[in-house]
Chains A and B, each alone.
Chain A
Amino acid sequence: MADALSAATNAAANAAVTAVDTATSAISSATANAAAAQGGAEALSAATSLPPTGVGLVLARISWFIVVPGVYIALGFGLAAIVVRLVKIFRSPPPPWQLAIYPEVSHPRQAALRDAFGMGQIRKQAPLFWIMLVIFHLGLLGIFLGHLDILPEISIVSESSRDMLGAGVFGLMVTIPIFYFIGRRFRSPVREVSTPGDYILLLLLLFTFLFGDLMSWGNSWTAQGFVMTKADFAQYFDGLLKFKFEDPRTYLHGTHYHFLVIHVLLAEAVLVTLPFTKVIHAFLSVPANILRRRTWNRK
């Protein structure tokens, strides 16, 4: 009886072990198949990424033009136009008399810098507007540094970081205030003094920022995490910096690439129109405030 029991137990144990082995083997097999499938898909993808033809070719060439030569054109044009505009302003004759208002300040340049960067006039009159402006301008600074940081030669955050500097926060810092600015412009009495150009500029900035946010946020909301990492962008920027004229599509993967193309296109539109819009205040705010603060005739 005991022998029979022992034999039965052994048989059951063997059966269990066999079952576990079978299950393990099945899992291993499934994993291996999945891996094989993935590898196969990638291999298939690689094998089928033939040079585009027809409309695809035209779109690919347009995308390349936007993200490579377009960047040089927009930057070159924008910077040259700013320089021409500033030269025209500062080569004009000086004002015939002092334009200061009193009380007199002992250090007009410092006071002008305070006015331009502290925006005290706005803080006193419209505190919420001021908060939004401060967040917006700090966000712009962060975005500028974030884009500089993508260059391989500059490492504010590690090159191996998947995120850009600020991890998308700077993007929100400019996007949220833009919604406020648009809302404010639609309200009376600011609406009455606004021109179509004011709305278009805000919308242009809004969409540039929204597509930038997609690069920072949406780009990471995939099952595999980041589609394009800081290192990928670094490769793109390095290509631009070294005038390689290569197609960044070869290392910027996924469908987010199309958002990147739109983001770059909008940013180029901002750069090209910047010298002709009120964004020029970025360069004229300090000189304008110096006019307000500098007295020619001291008491």
Chain B
Amino acid sequence: MIEIENVTKVYQMGQVQVHALCGVSLEIDQGEWVAVMGPSGSGKSTLMHIIGCLDAPTSGVYRLDGVEVGRMGENQLAAIRNRQIGFVFQTFNLLARTSALKQVMLPMQYTRNGARIPLGERERRAREALEMVGLGDRMRHLPTELSGGEQQRVAIARALVNDPDIIMADEPTGNLDSKSGAEVIEIFHRLHNEHKITMVMVTHDEEIGAQAERIIRLRDGQIVD
């Protein structure tokens, strides 16, 4: 499913070159739940951005479903993010002044190239996704009217709505209390067990990382374990 071979990423920060990833190789299988762990500055966010097609590697090969992604143009990457990947962020990243239902409908608005989804269908799928994360009674609520846990569940519904192959979660419980965090992990278990979605989760919380099937540990841009 995800194949990464000897990937490096170098940033130019003013005069200095920062080697965020130095020759990382890994494979993640379809339906696998992987946690990427490591101290800050270890390169785990960079790895996630590359896997999530938000960023291209400086060198090395990244194949998604056997297709080489590293050399794709911006618009092709956008289409992959739209249809194959769902993102869950630490800070939720919901749109201000927008109801939960509209938040979840957002990704479908950018589904193009002959696959345009009619408005009624978008709403139906958004309702379904919100019901799945247990927010069937919160569809018309604005982000300011929702608790942190509820906001993160809206974000998960948004990640799910376009039926992705992979969910990328960046510290999904980092801004939540332990009860809300447990609810989020509960949903991840369901996605993993019932929907067989590939999950890549970045965290530095050992307890959360332990929920995954496999832990990849990074340090100074290299896999240590």
Query: Does A associate with B in a complex?
Result: no
Q: Identify the A interface with B (CB < 8 A).
A: none
